[in-house]
Amino acid sequence: MDQPIKIAVMGATGCGKTSFINLASRSNLQVGAALESCTPDVQLANEFTLDGRRVVLIDTPGFDDTTKSDTDILKKIGSFLATSYESGSRLAGLLYVHRISDKRFGGIAGRNFKIFRDLCGEKSLKNVVLVTNMWGEVSLEVGEDREKELSSKFLKPALDKGAQMIRHHNNERSAHDIIRRIMNNHPVVLRIQQELVDEHKDITNTSAAETINAELEEAKRRHDAEVKKAQEEMARALREKEEQTRRRIEEETRKREEEMRRVREERERVELQRRQEMERVEQEARRLAEQARIERQRAEEEHRRQVALLNERLAAEAAAAEAARRAEQERIDHLQHQIHHHHHHHDNGGGCVIM
Ligand SMILES: Nc1nc2c(ncn2[C@@H]2O[C@H](COP(=O)(O)OP(=O)(O)OP(=O)(O)O)[C@@H](O)[C@H]2O)c(=O)[nH]1
Ligand SMILES: [Mg+2]
């Protein structure tokens, strides 16, 4: 009897891998509820028959797990694929599930797809179906716009190398139609199987791991750059603050010096005024003293002049008095002489005597 057809289902965590598998295989594998990652390990779904062929779908944990690193997820998927390759099992194809409801394919979704492509290698892309699901979550218009963008941009290189893109309508028939697209392909060997088994590479040296590391490096670089930028920003802010403080202190110092200069000038001005005032007062005092001296001198002179005048007048008066006295004396003498003379002529004449 033929080996069953094996198809691996991959994609980001929560994209609907397990749901798809349950639909297609009528299995009852656990489906994630909220935002938590659900499928922790690679698991096989119930075998089912499609167009007379036995089919086994392989469920895988999604990258971007909320609890495990991408490297851990890669190790799990890688070791499963290596083991099955070693035991002679080949994959007929791979489904890569992508939610059409996701707004962007850049960033995380783009990185997941890159890891997937590294894992597959170029040659197995013709056995890859890119499944878009969750069409019910967006309007058909939005979904179709995104689908066009995906096929013309992000998924173009893969589509150009033989991958197909198909919508999944979240029902069994749709899931089976998707499986039919690859179930009759020649089985492929994935690059990671060659790397791990044929080339005996360690999982950490595989292309997929390198992509993860590069992405981690890039994320670290971005993070470091952001930290550096933040630090520079802080340093700049600090410098600016310091510069501001420096300027403020400078300004204050300048103001204080200005104030001091003003006070000093004011004091000098007052001092000058005081000196000028003193000088003026001294001059005035000198002038008054001089004036007083002159006045005194003048008064003294006047006094002397008065005294001299008085003396003169006194002398004159004395002289006049003397003259008068002398004149009187003379008159008396004359009179006496006359009297005497008269006596000589009129001896017994009684008449009067004028004194
Ligand atoms: N609307 C809608 N929801 C879906 C579809 N497929 C899956 N879901 C929901 O999406 C959530 C995640 O689905 P899962 O099947 O667990 O996703 P997964 O890819 O297996 O997730 P992991 O196991 O964590 O990697 C669940 O709540 C599903 O019910 C779909 O086609 N349409
Ligand atoms: Mg799952």
User: Model confidence over 71-118: pLDDT tens digits?
Assistant: 899 999 999 999 999 999 999 999 999 999 998 887 778 888 999 999
- Residue 125: the pLDDT is 96
Neighbours of 114 (CB within 10 A): 17
Maximal CA-CA distance, the chain: 231
Looking at the domain assignment, is residue 274 inside a domain?
no
Say if 37 falls within a structural domain.
yes
Q: How far apart are CA 165 and CA 185, in angstroms?
A: 16
Mutate to test the pocket of ligand 1, among 29, 31, 174 (most ligand atoms within 8 A of CB): 31
Sequence-separated (6 or more) residues with CB below 8 Å from residue 124: 91, 94, 188, 189, 190, 191
Which among 15, 49, 44, 14 is positioned nearest to 29, based on CA atoms? Answer: 44
Q: What are residue 63's phi and psi, to 5 degrees?
A: -70, 165
Find the ligand nearest to 33 CA: 1
Domain containing 170 — which CATH number? 3.40.50.300
**pLDDT value of position 311:** 83
The answer to whether residue 112 sits within a structural domain is yes
Residue 9 CA, ligand 1 centroid: distance in Å: 13
Average pLDDT rounded to a whole number, residues 54-58? 97
Atom of ligand 1 nearest to the CA of 169: 31
pLDDT tens digits, one per residue of 159-171: 999 999 999 999 9
Distance between Cα 42 and ligand 2 center (Å): 9
CA of 22, closest atom in ligand 1: 15
Closest approach atom of ligand 1 to CA 31: 16
How many domains is the chain partitioned into structurally? 1
Using the mean position of ligand 1's atoms as its centre, give its distance from the Cα of residue 98 in Å.
11
Question: Residue 175 is part of which domain span?
Answer: 5-205
| Sequence-distant (≥ 6) Cβ neighbours of residue 138 within 8 angstroms | 100, 101, 146
Q: Is residue 210 part of a domain?
A: no
Q: Which residue has the higher pLDDT, 3 or 176?
A: 176
pLDDT tens column, 68-83: 888 899 999 999 999 9
Q: pLDDT band at 347, cuts 50/70/90?
A: low
Residue 190 lies in a domain: yes
- Could you tell me if residue 94 is inside a domain? yes
Q: How far is the CA of 31 from the centre of ligand 1 (A)?
A: 6
Average pLDDT over residues 265-276: 90
What is the position in ligand 1's atom list of the atom closest to the CA of 59? 20
Would you state the pLDDT for residue 254?
92
Closest Cα partner for 124 from 81, 79, 153, 174?
A: 81
150 close to 164: Cβ distance less than 8 angstroms: no
Report which ligand 1 atom has the smallest distance to the Cα of 40.
Answer: 23
Task: State residue 43 phi and psi, 5-degree precision.
Answer: -140, 150
- Name residues whose C-beta falls within 8 Å of residue 80's C-beta, 6 or more positions apart in sequence: 42, 58, 60
**If you take atom 25 of ligand 1, which residue's CA is the nearest one?**
13
pTM for the model: 0.68
- Residue located nearest, by CA, to atom 31 of ligand 1: 134
Gap from CA of 168 to ligand 1 centroid (Å): 12
Q: What distance in angstroms lies between residue 204's CA and the mean position of ligand 1's atoms?
A: 29
Tens of pLDDT along 3-43?
899 999 999 989 999 999 999 999 999 998 767 788 889 99
Task: Tell me, yes or no, whether 336 lies in a domain.
Answer: no
Distance, CA 38 to ligand 1 centroid (Å)?
9
Whether 201 is covered by a domain: the verdict is yes
Closest Cα to atom 10 of ligand 1: 16
| Ligand 1 residue neighbourhood (C-beta within 6 Å) | 11, 13-19, 31-33, 37-39, 61-62, 133-134, 136-137, 170
Average pLDDT of the segment spanning 198-212: 93
Average pLDDT over residues 217-236: 89
